[in-house]
Amino acid sequence: MRRGVAVLALVMLVLSACTWPRDVGTTLADVRDGVLRVGVTEHPPWVSVPDEGPPSGAEVRLVGQLAARLHAQVEWYPGTESELMAAVKDRVLDLVVGGLDAKAPWTKEASLTRPYVTMRTIVAAPAGTTVPDDLTGVRVAVRAGTADVAALTSEGAAVVAVPEITGKEHLPVVVGEWRLAELRLTPSPHELSATDHVWAVPPGENAWQAEVERFLLSLSHSAVVGLLADAEQAEAVR
């Protein structure tokens, strides 16, 4: 009995040594030289979904690169995160992107990839200002309606909520680290948050997930920062 189990395991291994791990379904085979169905959700600069025309943003460019590797044609499906995750669960979509956080609560519906990049949100100083070591009572500009407002408040800073950070506030500002070069900001050691970014794929499609992760893990931090900065500029032009 025990020997039988061992032989069975060995046979299973040998049979499938060609592609390992394998998909429960056929996602990787369908996408290769076929169609890649991608759910996108608005989250600039990662993904921007205009009313008309194709989406843009850093992750949209990355999906393009992945599709080129696999000679696949991309179809975009905009929606909210909860809509898209319900669809990816049953393989109606092959991939969902939109600046997803590794702590996203979608593990029942989708499989989140390994985090491929970590982006920090920090307090930075425009030319002519400095950020003191202690933020208590210091006026700091932050985009209104974000979790960063609460994080800043808990540091004791005087929150100046603005609709958009432009770098012309003449105040210390809260920005994602990719905007430092574009806005000519000097970073400070005050880090409000750090987000691990992931993509979502159908659960159990392990060959497909491994292919996506191989692509994502080959990306360097600076390459992603470059794409995010480009996306910010394109957004500003519009």
Binding residue for other proteins (CB under 8 A) from 203, 228, 229, 232? Answer: 203
230's enclosing H/E stretch is helix 221-237
Instruction: By CB under 8 A, name the one of 7, 9, 147, 223 that touches other proteins.
Output: 9
- Give the single-character DSSP code of 223: H
> What is the smallest separation between the CB atom of 213 and other proteins, expressed in angstroms?
4
Nearer to other proteins, 24 or 183 (CB): 24
27 near other proteins, rule: CB under 8 A: no
13 counts as binding other proteins under rule CB under 8 A: yes
**Helix boundaries (H) for 24-118:** 27-31, 58-69, 81-89
Q: Which residues, in sequence order, are bridge partners of residue 159?
A: 140
Residue 18 near other proteins by CB under 8 A: no
Identity at 208, one-letter amino acid code: W
Radius of gyration of the chain, Cα coordinates, nearest whole angstrom: 21
Q: Give the residue, chosen from 38, 121, 206, 231, that forms a contact with other proteins under the rule CB under 8 A.
A: 206
Size, binding site for other proteins by CB under 8 A: 27
Closest approach of other proteins to the CB of residue 114, in Å: 6
Closest to other proteins by CB, 141 vs 207, is 207
Out of 71, 139, 214, 221, the only residue in the binding site for other proteins (CB under 8 A) is 214
Q: Is 32 in the site for other proteins (CB under 8 A)?
A: no
Residue 226 token pair? 């470059």
Closest CA to 85 of 59, 109, 104: 109
How is residue 73 written in tokens?
Answer: 């044609």
DSSP letter for 172, please: -
Question: Is the separation of the CB atoms in 136 and 130 below 8 Å?
Answer: no
Diameter of the chain measured on Cα atoms: 77
E-strand spans in 79-229?
95-101, 111-112, 117-126, 139-143, 158-162, 173-176, 185-201
Shortest distance, position 70 Cβ to other proteins, whole Å: 17
What residues between 100 and 129 interact with other proteins by CB under 8 A? 107, 111, 113-114
Among 41, 205, 224, 228, interactor with other proteins by CB under 8 A: 205
Nearer to other proteins, 29 or 160 (CB): 29
| Residue numbers at the binding site for other proteins (CB under 8 A) | 5, 9, 12-13, 15-16, 20-24, 107, 111, 113-114, 201-207, 209-210, 213-214, 217
